[in-house]
């Protein structure tokens, strides 16, 4: 079975402060990990995926297989980063691939 845990339901930081949204996963094989973001009154959209090793809107996330984590980080938070963030895992091989989502973290960046 595959599981994604986001331990923080709510996270508040001040503008300009570093932010880290935690994500831990449980999966016995080689997972594909994603971060999705949902801004207020907007649809869920992909923020980044680990295989791309990219930085999007200043956010990065490194897959740590030893700790089974995929934490999302940004060195200097901005007010426009306030949103709901979901970590997601795709683990089943071949045509049966599905995404399992964590419960989400609501990030609020205070002025």
Partner 1 sequence: DADVTQTPRNRITKTGKRIMLECSQTKGHDRMYWYRQDPGLGLRLIYYSFDVKDINKGEISDGYSVSRQAQAKFSLSLESAIPNQTALYFCATSDLGSSTDTQYFGPGTRLTVL
Interface residues with partner 1 (CB under 8 A)?
6, 9, 32, 34, 43-46, 49, 51, 86, 90, 95, 97-104
Give the number of residues written for the chain: 111
Rank residues 19 and 89 by Cβ distance to partner 1 and give the closer one: 89
Q: Running DSSP on this structure, what letter comes out for residue 68?
A: T
Q: Which is nearer to partner 1, 49 or 74 (CB)?
A: 49
Shortest separation between residue 43's beta carbon and partner 1, angstroms:
5
Distance CA 25, CA 101 (A): 10
Q: Which is nearer to partner 1, 6 or 70 (CB)?
A: 6
Q: Residues of 85-107 as b/e, b for ≥16 C-beta within 10 angstroms?
A: bbbbbbbeeeeeeeebebebbeb
Distance of closest approach, residue 57 Cβ to partner 1, in angstroms: 16
């Amino acid at each position: 079975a595959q599981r994604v845990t986001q331990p923080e339901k709510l996270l508040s930081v001040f503008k300009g402060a570093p932010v880290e949204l935690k994500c831990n996963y449980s999966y016995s094989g080689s997972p594909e990990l994603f971060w999705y973001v949902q801004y207020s009154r907007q649809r869920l959209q992909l923020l980044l995926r680990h295989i791309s090793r990219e930085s999007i809107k200043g956010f990065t996330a490194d897959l740590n297989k030893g700790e089974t984590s995929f934490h999302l980080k940004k060195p200097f938070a901005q007010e426009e980063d306030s949103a709901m963030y979901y970590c997601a895992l795709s683990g089943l091989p071949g045509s049966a691939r599905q995404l399992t989502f964590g419960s989400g973290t609501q990030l609020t960046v205070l002025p």
